[in-house]
Structure 1
C-alpha cells in the first residue's frame, strides 16, 4: 500500500511518572535525526552539568523550566518531527493523577496513543487510568510500549507477563487496535532501530509502526458534515455575486452537484462549486478547508451546518455527555455557560450529573455530583437552541463540545457526546 507522505499522524504519550515518556520521545527525535545541532549541544551541556553519563534524552522534551529542574513533565509539550514517510505531532502528557485534564487535552485529537509500562512494575493503576482515558476519547490505535527491558535482562517472560496482564484488563476498553512492543528508550532498543538484544520479538520497531499505521480509515467518510465558519462576499469585479460558505469539512465527502440541506433552517439546495485558494475542485473531503457555493440563495451564517439531505446530524437541546472538568473552580449548580460545538455557540447549563467515574477503579459514584478539577462524569446538558451533533463514537469533531465560563472566558469542561 502506498502511503501519503504528507499524511500527518498525531500521537500522545502516556504512562506513570518515571516510566520514560520524555526519554522515549527524545530517543525518537534523536535517532530519527530530527533535532538541530544547537539543541543537541544545549542538552549535552545541561546533561554534563547534571553529572549524567552521556546525553539525557528527556531534556529534548521537558521544555518547561520547572520540568527541567524537577525532572518531570507537567504541561502538555507538543513536538513536531518528520521522516521521509510521514509527518508527526507528539503530545507529551504528564503522568500524575492531578494532570488528568492535561492528558484529555493532549489526547483529544490523537490518532494513536503510546502507553508506557515499566517492565519491572507491570500494569499499574496509572496504566489503567491512561488507557481508560484513551478509550474514552476513542483514540483508534493503542501502542503499549513495555519500557526498561534492559533492567529485566531483555527477558521474554517479563514481556509476555505484562502483555497478558494488559490484555485481561483491556478487554473492557473500546479500542479497536492494540499493539505491544518491548523497548528500552534509554538504550534505543526497538525505538527507531531493531533490538539486537531481543531477537525473540518478531514485530517492528516503534517508529516503523508509527510510519505505517493505517489512519485514513480513522476519519468518518460516510457522514458528510460541513460547519460554516464564515460567509465570503468579496464584492470585487470578478466575484460580484459570489456568496461562498467557508469552513473545514468535519467528516464525509462533498461533490459538485450533491443535494444538500442547510441546518437548522432545513432549506435544501445543490452544490454549485467547491472552491479553494488554488482553484475549484470536483470533490472535497475531511479535513479540507474549502468554500462551498450553492445553486439557491439560502440564508446561512456562522454556526449553521451543511449536510447531505439523506444523512443528517441530530438536532438536540438535551445532550448526554461524558464531561471532563478542567477548571480550578468547582462547578456551580444551574450556572449558565457558553457551549461550543464545531462553529456553533449557544448558552447551556449542566442539568444533571448522572454519575462520576473513579478513574482508578472505574466505579460509578452516583452520590457525589459536585465537579472538581480532573473529575470525569456523565452529565445531561440543556442548551437554549438545538445543536447539530453526532455521537462522539461516530464523529470526534461534531461529537465534541467545550463549556466556557462567560465571566472569566475560561474553558471549564470538555465533553464527548454519547
Structure 2
C-alpha cells in the first residue's frame, strides 16, 4: 500500500467522466454521461467540492494529469477475499470447484496471521486495480471478518462484509452452528457496522450450506436492523439450482428460499442470478434487492449467461462484480469487457455507458450509497482513480483513430486493465501510485 501526505485542498486535472443518471442500455449518446475534458476536480477535506475548466488558485495543491482519464473509483459488489489463492484454478464447474479449490483455501483463514495477511494483500490488490469500494465475502471464521474490517479501516475504504454462515454441506472446519454464528454476527455488528466506512452484511454462503434454522436466524438479523446488508449467491449453476430444489421442496424457486426468510430487501446483494424466471424477477424488483453480475466467473466456470435486458425490463438493479476467484481478474475493465461478450452471445449490445455505470454510480445507488461514492457530485467522498487512456502500441493506435467519445471509452474499457492505472485515491488520500 502506498499513501502520500494528504493536502487539505487538492486539485486533479484530467478528462473527468462520471454519470448524473442512468444511461440507456444501448445508447451511445446519453444525457446521463458527464464528460469534462481537461478539467479540474477539486477535493477539500477528502470530499469533492466541485469541478471547473479554469486552473484553480495557488491555495490548491495541483496535479496535472492532462491527457488522462479520471473516473470515480470502481465498486465491486461481489468478491471473495480468501479466493485470491485459487484464482485461475483448472477444470471444474461450481460445486466441484468449491470442494476442490475454494473450501481448502478458506480453511487456512482460521489462522489469524493468515487472515490478516490475506486481507491486506486483497485490499491492496483492489486498490491497485482501481477498485476503492467492495462488497466482500471473507470466510466462516470470525477472525477473517475482523481482519478484513480492520484492514479496510486502516485504508479508509468503503467495505461491506460479514462472517460467512455455513452449518452444513461443507468440511467440518468450515461449519459453524446456529447459536455460535448468531453470537459472532451480533458481536461483529456491534463492533464494526457503521464504524468509519464499514458496514455489516449478513452473509449466507448459499442456500445449500445453511440449514433452515440458520436461514431463519439470518432473516431475523436482517429484520432486527434494516441498516444491515445481506449478501449471498443465487441461481448460478444448473446443478446448484437442482440441488436447492431437492433440499427445499417447499420453495417455489431458489430465490424463494431467501424470500421466505425475509432475506430479500433493499440492501440485499445476490450474486449471479442466471437461472431466474419471470416471477423471480418480479420478486426481486418488488424487494429492492440487486443482482451482482459476474460475467468473468460465469464464463470461466461455464455457469451460464445472465440476461441483463430481462433484468432491466423487470426493474431491479444490476451491478458489476469480479467474483474473484471464480472470476479471473480483479480488473473491472476486464470484468465489463466480459460482460459485453456475455450480452453479445444473447444478441444484445451493452454500451460502455451502461457497463461503466454498473461499476460506479449504478452500484452506489444499488447499495444506497450514492451520497457517498460512485460519481463526482459535490459532497461525495473523493474515491477517485486516474487512468492512462491507452497503454502499448495497439491501444494507443486504436485511441488515436477513435472518432467520438463512446468509441474511445468502449475501446478503453475493452483494451485496458490495471496496467493503465496511474493512481487511486480514497477519500482524497492517495492509496496507490504506479
Q: Is this a same-fold pair by TM over 0.5? A: no
TM-score (norm 2): 0.31
Higher relative contact order (CA 8 A, sep 6+): 2
TM-score (norm 1): 0.32
Structure with the bigger percentage of strand:
1
Structure with the bigger percentage of helix:
2
Larger Rg: 1 or 2?
Answer: 1
